Amino acid sequence: MQKYDNNKNVLDAAKERISFVFDNFENIIVSISGGKDSTTLAHLALTEAHNRSRKIGLFFLDEEVVYQNTIDQIEYLMNIYPENTNRLWLQIEFLLTNSTSLEEGQLKCWEAGKHKIWMRSKGKNNIFAKPWAKEKEKYHNAAKGGLGFYGVLENFQDCYKNTAFLVGLRAAGESPNRWRAVTKNPININGNKVYWGSKKGENVVLYPIYDWNFHDIWHYIYDNKLRYSKIYDFQFKKGFGISEMRVSSLIHEKSFKSICELPEFEPKTYDKLLKRIKGISFAQETGKNSKMFKARKLPKNFKSWIVYRDFLLNTYPDPAKKNLFAKRFSKHLNNEFVARQQCRQIILNDYENNLAIQNKPDPREELIEYYKGVL
Amino acid sequence: MIYLGQSSIEKNKIISEYIKENNIKKVFILSPEKLYFNCDIEETKEFIEYDNIIMYVYFYRLLQEINNDVLVVINECLRTKNRYDLTYNCIRNFLYQTRHQIIFQYLPTIESFEDFFILFDFDTRSKWKGQTDCNILKNSNININQINIKLNKIEVQTGAKLKLRYQEEKNNLIEKIGLKDPHTIPRNLYLLSGKSKLFLIDHSKKYIGRNNRFCLLNMQTYKEKAYQGNYTVFEFSHNHIDFIDFLSISKQVDIDVLVADLKVDQWYFERYQKWVEELDRAYAKIRQ
């Protein structure tokens, strides 16, 4: 464990933070994803709840299309201290971007009437109805035509007041920018300045393990003999880089690459996914190809990224989203550098603009001019 | 501690002495494979290839194994100018776990003085992250064996025919650059000038060039793992890092360079001449 000094390490500090949260909030909810960080945080918070004979919520927004290992991990966490756990496992209908198919650009998770092709049945102890009143529902995404992942999170948080939402976000390690982002705006909790959280409406979102690194997390999991998602073991054996070792959703624009290894890691999940939604087989074959989803190399039938972008836009199957892309691109510079990024957005069906575009002059053009002059 | 310009024998000696003084039980040497050196210490040692540092299978194991009984040797790891490169961040994570590190680098920079602060960050656990003020360098113990590089220009005259072809090729390259990397312009023009230097090739001498397209027995490229004797530069490498690797392995300091009277050759020579000047400036600033 990383140490602050001889008497204190990051684990001691996290325990102190969690104790502080329990002292200052009646209602505590831990967001879990089935990954290593949220597993650690949930265990720390549940241990504290157990020691104080209190109950905390474990919140999991089930996207349906996730690894079976993730589901097993969530079930495990819910049952560490069931007497101290409020099971907030949401299995409700919402829209999820499917970056693997332009024809079926969105997946309606847990869609009513399609239970025969759901990835799995809903768990009997889970929440199947939206926990907020229909008339109070907010955060509809116009582009999506309904409630998306973040919309559900916002509505869920709005159901509570004076609640501490604990999130297993870590800022120590490979990203100094994330550290700055987490710690730059401290909040005030009952007269205490807290650097590891942010205000969210009438609630607060707190990051008690923000200063832990990879090593600390795995150390904690090992020391406490916690179960963890076996996907990490598979990825480790395949020699994944540290930034690729992630257990997240399978189909959105930042995670589609995980489909490439899915048949090896979880063949049954892959089989179900093939039946559930379009584009999976194609993504499995081409997810890591530089000419396809990554849009790194220009396919040889196109002369330039601009031509390729125009082709993709003209043949985009959904007229509503096509206009969305066209409107967004009209504000951008028209050069090869920007056009390549636009191609990537269209190919990955990123109508929500999650993969931000760097709208700047093409650095290549500047360099070509320079060489023209000096050579 | 940062050591600049050490030979393999000196590196070995420094490591051995450090181990004795600090009761070190294991040594990890992070290094590009072609710059591995012969380390004949008795204690357990392991070389970690530079490209493998970011691989989880190495990164996490090293995080588990590195502690205060372990010495981390960072050998010739100045490979990219980005101070916040993922590999550098991983190395910093290793260093947070031990008090013992030795940094070896043959030349202190890649292109500019600011590059040296990457090594400084390693040595100071990034305490002065983002700063490039010379005054903070006093917080690090730097041992300098200055390498004075000297480039000697050997002029090569070309005919009017080649000059005309050069101009045509330049226009052609710029016109057809399309989506290709703009650096292909000087690279390809430089290849064109190669033929004009062929008549100067002395078979008793050794040369270094971009590739061995002329199938010469005495020509080597920048990708070799070992160089014997003195080399004349037939062509410079486009990337400084390849040239630095050549200097680090060959230890050559006085270098003859064939320079044709074409603009591209002049441009490459001036570029490296400026690079040598910047190197000298960097040494002066580090010594301050």
**Per DSSP, what are the bridge partners of residue A106?**
A97
- Chain A positions touching B191 (Cβ under 8 A) are none
Based on the fold, state whether residues B232 and B134 are members of the same structural domain.
no
User: How confident is the model over A236-245, as pLDDT tens digits?
Assistant: 888 777 777 8
Residue of B nearest to A177 (CA): B84
pLDDT at B278: 95
How close is the nearest chain A Cα to the Cα of B112, in Å?
19
CA distance A215 to chain B (A): 6
For chain A positions 96-125, those within 8 Å of chain B (CB to CB) are none
Burial group, residue B216, by CB count within 10 angstroms (0-12, 13-18, 19+): middle
Task: Tell the residue number behind the tokens 């720390």, with chain if given.
Answer: A44
In angstroms, the separation between the Cα of residue B163 and the nearest Cα of chain A is 12
Tell me how close the Cα of B108 comes to any Cα of chain A, in angstroms: 24
The answer to whether residues B44 and B82 touch, using CB atoms and an 8 Å cutoff, is: no
Please identify which residue in the block is written with the tokens 């330039």: A304
Question: Closest Cα to residue B122, out of B76, B164, B168, B160?
Answer: B76
A168: phi then psi, degrees, rounded to nearest 5: -85, 40
Residues B46 and B140 placed together within one structural domain of the fold: yes
Which tens digit of pLDDT belongs to each residue from B141-173?
999 999 999 999 999 999 899 999 999 999 999
Residues of B in contact with A240 (CB under 8 A): 55-56
Closest alpha carbon within chain B to A237: B57
Contact yes or no for B60 and A174 at CB 8 A:
no
Residue A190 DSSP symbol:
T
Contact: A375, B185; criterion CB under 8 Å = yes
A-chain residues near B54 (CB < 8 A): 241-243
Whole-angstrom CA distances from A204 to A22, A222, A267 are 13, 30, 40
Instruction: Check CB contact under 8 Å for B178 and A303.
Output: yes
Q: Name the residue of chain B whose CA is nearest to A213's CA.
A: B93
Is beta strand A8-9 parallel, antiparallel or unpaired with respect to A106-109? unpaired
CB contact under 8 A, A239 and B55: yes
Q: Do A215 and B64 touch (CB under 8 A)?
A: yes
Largest CA distance in chain B: 68
> Mapped to the 3 state alphabet, what secondary structure does chain B carry?
CEEECCCHHHHHHHHHHHHHHHCCCEEEEEECHHHCCCCCCCCEEEEEEHHHCCEHHHHHHHHHHCCCCEEEEEECCCCCCCCCCHHHHHHHHHHCCCCEEEEEECCCCCCCHHHHHHHHHHHHCCCCCCCCCHHHHHHCCEEECCCCCEEEEEEECCCHHHHHHHHHHHHHHHHCCCCCCCCHHHHHHHHHHHHHHHHHCCCCCEEEECCCCCCCCCEEECCCCCCCCCEEECCCCCCHHHHHHHHHHHCCCEEEEEEECCHHHHHHHHHHHHHHHHHHHHHHHHHC
**Phi, psi (5° rounding) for residue A326?**
-60, -40
- Residue B58 and residue B36 in one domain: yes
C-beta atoms of A371 and B263 within 8 A: no
- Verify whether the Cβ–Cβ distance A371 to B185 is below 8 Å: yes
Cβ of A235 within 8 Å of Cβ of B56? The answer is: yes
> How is residue B249 written in tokens?
């392995």
pLDDT in tens, B21-58: 999 999 999 999 999 998 888 888 999 999 999 887 88
C-alpha to C-alpha distance for A152 and B129, rounded to whole angstroms: 39
In DSSP terms, A205 is beta-bridged to: A165, A198
The dihedral over CA atoms of A102, A105, A107, A113, expressed in degrees to the nearest 10, equals -80
The CA distance from A86 to B54, in Å, is: 39
- Which residues of chain A have a pLDDT value below 70? 4-6, 173-178, 180
Burial grade of A293 (CB within 10 A; 0-12, 13-18, 19 or more): buried
pLDDT computed for residue A175 by the predictor:
60
Indicate yes or no: CB of B182 within 8 angstroms of CB of A372. Answer: no
Between A and B, how many CB-CB pairs are < 8 A?
75
Write out chain A residues lying below 8 Å of B97, CB-based.
215
Residue closest to A170 by CA, chosen among A128, A217, A102: A217
The answer to whether A139 contacts chain B (CB < 8 Å) is no
Residues β-bridged to residue B30? B48, B74
On whether both B52 and B161 belong to a single domain, the answer is no
Q: What is the rounded distance in angstroms from the CA atom of residue A350 to the CA atom of residue A354?
A: 6
Contact B182 A173 (CB under 8 A): no
Angle between the N-to-C axes of helices B116-124 and B86-95, in degrees from 0 to 180, rounded to the nearest 10 = 30
Q: Are residues B82 and B134 in the same domain?
A: yes
The CATH number linked to B28 is 3.40.50.10810
Query: How many independent structural domains does chain B possess?
Result: 2
The answer to whether residues B15 and B115 belong to one domain is yes
- Please report residues of A whose CB lies closer than 8 A to that of B263: 374-375
Nearest chain A residue (CA) to B263:
A375
Q: CA-CA distance, B127 to B129, in Å (whole number)?
A: 6
Check CB contact of A72 with chain B, cutoff 8 Å.
no
Radius of gyration over alpha carbons of chain B, in Å?
Answer: 21
From the list A175, A218, A372, which residue is nearest B174 (CB)? A372
For residue B109, what are the domain limits? 2-144
Provide the terminal-to-terminal Cα distance of chain B, rounded to the nearest Å: 17
Is B93 in CB contact (< 8 Å) with chain A? yes
Q: Are residues B44 and B158 in the same domain?
A: no
From chain B, the residues in CB contact with A174 under 8 A are 86, 89-90, 93
Selecting from A236, A364, A367 the residue whose C-beta is nearest the C-beta of B56 gives A236
Which of B103, B128, B144 terminates a domain? The answer is: B144
B77 pLDDT higher than 90:
yes
Give whole-number Cα distances, A79 to A75, A83, B109, in Å: 6, 9, 55
Q: Residues B167, B208: one domain?
A: yes
Q: Phi-psi bin for B130: left (phi > 0), alpha (psi -120 to 50), beta?
A: left
Query: B144, B160, B181 — which closes off a domain?
Result: B144
Over 60: is that where the pLDDT of B123 sits? Answer: yes
Q: How far does CA B285 lie from the centroid of its chain?
A: 19
CB contact under 8 A, B93 and A213: yes
Name residues whose C-beta falls within 8 Å of residue A371's C-beta, 6 or more positions apart in sequence: B174, B182, B185, B186
Angle formed by the axes of helices A214-223 and A36-51, to 10°?
Answer: 50
Q: Which residue out of A221, A242, A245, A369 would a mutagenesis test of the B interface target, given it has the greatest number of B Cβ atoms within 10 Å?
A: A242
Please give the pLDDT value at position B129.
79
Cβ contacts of A228 within 8 Å, gap of 6 or more:
A36, A39, A73, A221
Tell me which residue in B90, B182, B264 faces A368 most closely, judged by beta carbons.
B182
Give the integer Cα–Cα distance in Å for A285 and B190.
40
Q: What is the pLDDT of residue A253?
A: 73
Name the 3-class secondary structure at A283.
helix
Nearest-Cα distance to chain A for B169, in Å, is 11
Q: Is A372 on the interface with B (CB under 8 A)?
A: yes
- In this structure, the answer to whether residues B280 and B164 fall within a common structural domain is yes
The residue of B62, B87, B90, B93 whose CB has the most chain A CBs within 10 angstroms, and thus the best one to mutate to test that interface, is B93
Separation of CA B197 from chain center: 26
Interface of B with A in 118-147 (CB under 8 A): 129
| Burial readout A151-171 (b: 16 or more C-beta within 10 A, e: otherwise) | bbbebbbbebeebbbbbbbbb
Residue A301 CA neighbour count, 13 Å, CB half:
3
> Do B167 and B122 have their domain in common?
no
Last residue within a domain, chosen from B98, B114, B144: B144
Question: Computed over its alpha carbons, how large is the radius of gyration of chain A?
Answer: 23
| B32 at interface of A, judged by CB pairs closer than 8 A | no
What residues pair up with B260 in beta bridges, in sequence order? B156
| CA-closest candidate to residue A127, choices A159, A105, A104 | A159
Do residue B36 and residue B170 come from a single domain?
no
DSSP for A313-354, written as a single string: HHT-S-HHHHHHHHHHHHTS--SHHHHHHHHHHHHTT-TT--
- ipTM of the complex, rounded to two decimals: 0.84
Question: Which pLDDT score is estimated for A173?
Answer: 62
**Predicted pLDDT at A174:** 54
Say whether both B72 and B158 belong to one domain: no
